[in-house]
């Protein structure tokens, strides 16, 4: 006989221990999600979620979103997000002005500043430096002067950051007297103030005046030393090294940009030994082979005649910028290694590095050096069809040279029709050679229109 076991179940709990409701999505969760973003599509998804959960009023959150949009270069979307904000704070306006400027949209930055004022939002001491930098990027010195006047009117002209940025604007627009007046009126000057004046004078070609200001500086840092060293690189490279020795005596440690300036000086002096010394100094003093230093070394070694050293530096670099690839491709081409230059370009594409016009200047120069018309034609066509790059004078010069050598007169005439209204000396010289050799009437007429720009006896 089988026993029957009775069973009375426990009453069901009133609350589900495993709730299926959605997790709360507040400002902290949204911020964490934004911090984990790895692509722009994800940013848009999070923004949609922010709107659904009523968080678009949180300006701290929106600022983070704007910064991410700026880092991806998506300023159209950033603009959409910004204009959805109800009553943006001055700090939020400031950031948006800054993001426009650093993304090459300086005109939009200035329009936004105008909108900010017209809607009654007061600027602060951080607004003015951002707007002044936008004026510099847009090369609008007249508007810069208006902003200068507004800074005086609103009482922010005493701020050192505002004054340093104003000084930088005037020097960049080559208004030396205005830049110097701003400096002279400063009640307190920081090392940045002195260095801004020195850099500005150097960029305006006032090297002797800059040296005088430098000698008056009460305290000099690596940036001020480097600014003056850089000024001597082209015309007095030996003096650049004299300043470097003084800098070492004063126990000021150089930075990567100091060494880059010295390498440029080595290139000017065509001194491979001195360039190797700078490379050795960098290695012994713990400088990493970064993008700027590495690219400068490649350029120096190539121009001083050691392609092998240039390639060794390139191969050792873990991070390479577009300028690095361009420098190595151009170096290979100049030294007659056309096939290697083209192979490196293929490697560059595999690394998903987008070429620019300079890349193709290097490649076409390599074709000229090796007299490779077929490859030159292919690259010239590929440049436009695949990357949408419009030919610049350097591209046209290379192609004219290749066609000249092959006696392809029709192709030279076709390129002549594509010439810019103001061709440079290299294009004119290449066309002059063709007209002399082949007696091309159309080309002679073209050259006649620009007869004052090329010395026919030099060809």
What's the pLDDT at 447?
Answer: 45
Q: How far apart are CA 422 and CA 393, in angstroms?
A: 10
Q: Are 151 and 126 in contact (CB under 8 A)?
A: no
Q: How many CB atoms lie within 10 A of CB 349?
A: 14
pLDDT given for residue 53 in this prediction:
86
Q: CA 191 to CA 219: how far, in whole Å?
A: 7
- Does the pLDDT of residue 416 top 90, yes or no? no
- What are the helix (H) ranges across 2-155? 27-35, 40-52, 59-71, 75-82, 90-102, 106-118, 127-138, 141-153
Of 30-39, 267-276, 312-321, give the lowest mean pLDDT range: 30-39
Which pLDDT value is given to residue 36? 85
Q: What is the mean pLDDT of residues 372-384?
A: 94
Name residues whose C-beta falls within 8 Å of residue 399's C-beta, 6 or more positions apart in sequence. Answer: 364, 376, 377, 380, 411, 415
Q: Is the pLDDT of residue 294 over 90?
A: yes
Q: What angle do CA 163, 164, 169 make, to 5 degrees?
A: 95
Q: What is the pLDDT of residue 305?
A: 93
Which residues touch 452 (CB under 8 Å, ≥6 apart)?
A: none
What is residue 330's predicted lDDT score, i.e. its pLDDT? 95
Average pLDDT of the chain is: 87
pLDDT tens-digit readout, 172-221: 999 999 999 999 999 999 999 999 999 999 999 999 999 999 999 999 99
Share of the chain above pLDDT 90, in %: 70
Quick one: average pLDDT of 380-406? Answer: 89
pLDDT for position 453: 46
pLDDT tens-place string over residues 312-347: 999 999 999 999 999 999 999 999 899 999 999 999
DSSP state of 382: H
Q: For residue 449, name the pLDDT band (cuts at 50, 70, 90).
A: very low
Binned at pLDDT 50, 70 and 90, residue 7 comes out as very low
The residues, any chain, with a CB within 8 Å of residue 128's CB and separated by 6 or more, are 147, 150, 151, 156, 159, 162, 165
pLDDT digits (tens, 9 = 90+) for 160-175: 999 999 999 999 999 9
What local confidence, expressed as pLDDT, does residue 382 receive?
95
For the entire predicted model, the pTM comes to: 0.79
- The predicted structure's pLDDT at residue 459: 41
pLDDT at 448: 45
């Amino acid at each position: 006989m089988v026993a029957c076991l009775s069973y009375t179940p426990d009453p069901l709990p009133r609350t589900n221990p495993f709730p299926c409701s959605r997790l709360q999505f507040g400002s902290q969760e949204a911020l964490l999600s934004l911090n984990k973003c790895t692509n722009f599509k994800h940013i848009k998804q999070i923004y949609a979620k922010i709107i659904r959960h009523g968080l678009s009023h949180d300006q701290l959150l929106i600022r983070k979103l704007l910064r991410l949009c700026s880092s991806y270069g998506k300023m159209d979307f950033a603009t959409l997000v910004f204009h959805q904000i109800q009553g943006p704070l001055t700090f939020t306006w400031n950031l948006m002005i800054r993001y426009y400027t650093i993304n090459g949209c300086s005109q939009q930055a200035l329009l936004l500043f105008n909108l900010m004022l017209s809607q009654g939002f007061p600027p602060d001491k951080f607004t003015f430096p951002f707007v002044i930098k936008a004026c510099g990027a847009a090369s609008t010195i007249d508007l810069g002067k208006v902003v200068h006047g507004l800074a005086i009117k609103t009482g922010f002209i005493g701020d050192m950051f505002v004054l340093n940025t104003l000084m930088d604007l005037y020097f960049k627009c080559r208004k030396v007297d205005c830049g110097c007046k701003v400096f002279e009126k400063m009640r307190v000057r920081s090392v940045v103030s002195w260095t801004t004046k020195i850099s500005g004078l150097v960029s305006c070609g006032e090297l002797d005046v800059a040296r005088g200001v430098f000698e008056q500086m009460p305290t000099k840092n690596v940036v001020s030393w480097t600014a003056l060293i850089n000024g001597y690189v082209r015309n007095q490279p030996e003096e650049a090294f004299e300043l470097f020795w003084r800098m070492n005596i004063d126990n000021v440690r150089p930075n990567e940009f100091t060494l880059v300036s010295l390498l440029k000086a080595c290139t000017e002096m065509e001194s491979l030994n001195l360039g190797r010394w700078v490379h050795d100094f960098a290695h012994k003093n713990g400088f990493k082979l970064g993008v700027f230093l590495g690219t400068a070394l490649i350029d120096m070694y190539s121009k001083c005649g050691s392609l092998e050293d240039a390639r060794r530096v390139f191969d050792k670099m873990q991070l390479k910028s577009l300028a690095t690839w361009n420098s190595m491709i151009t170096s290979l081409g100049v030294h007659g290694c056309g096939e290697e230059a083209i192979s490196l370009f293929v490697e560059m594409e595999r690394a998903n590095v987008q070429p620019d016009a300079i890349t193709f200047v290097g490649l076409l120069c390599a074709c000229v050096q090796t007299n490779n018309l077929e490859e030159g034609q292919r690259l010239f066509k590929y440049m436009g069809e695949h990357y949408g790059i419009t030919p610049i004078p350097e591209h046209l010069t290379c192609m004219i040279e290749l066609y000249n050598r092959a006696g392809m007169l029709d192709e030279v005439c076709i390129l002549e029709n594509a010439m810019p209204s103001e061709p440079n000396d290299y294009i004119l010289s290449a066309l002059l050679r063709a007209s002399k050799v082949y007696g091309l009437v159309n080309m002679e007429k073209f050259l006649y229109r620009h007869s004052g720009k090329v010395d026919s006896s030099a060809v």
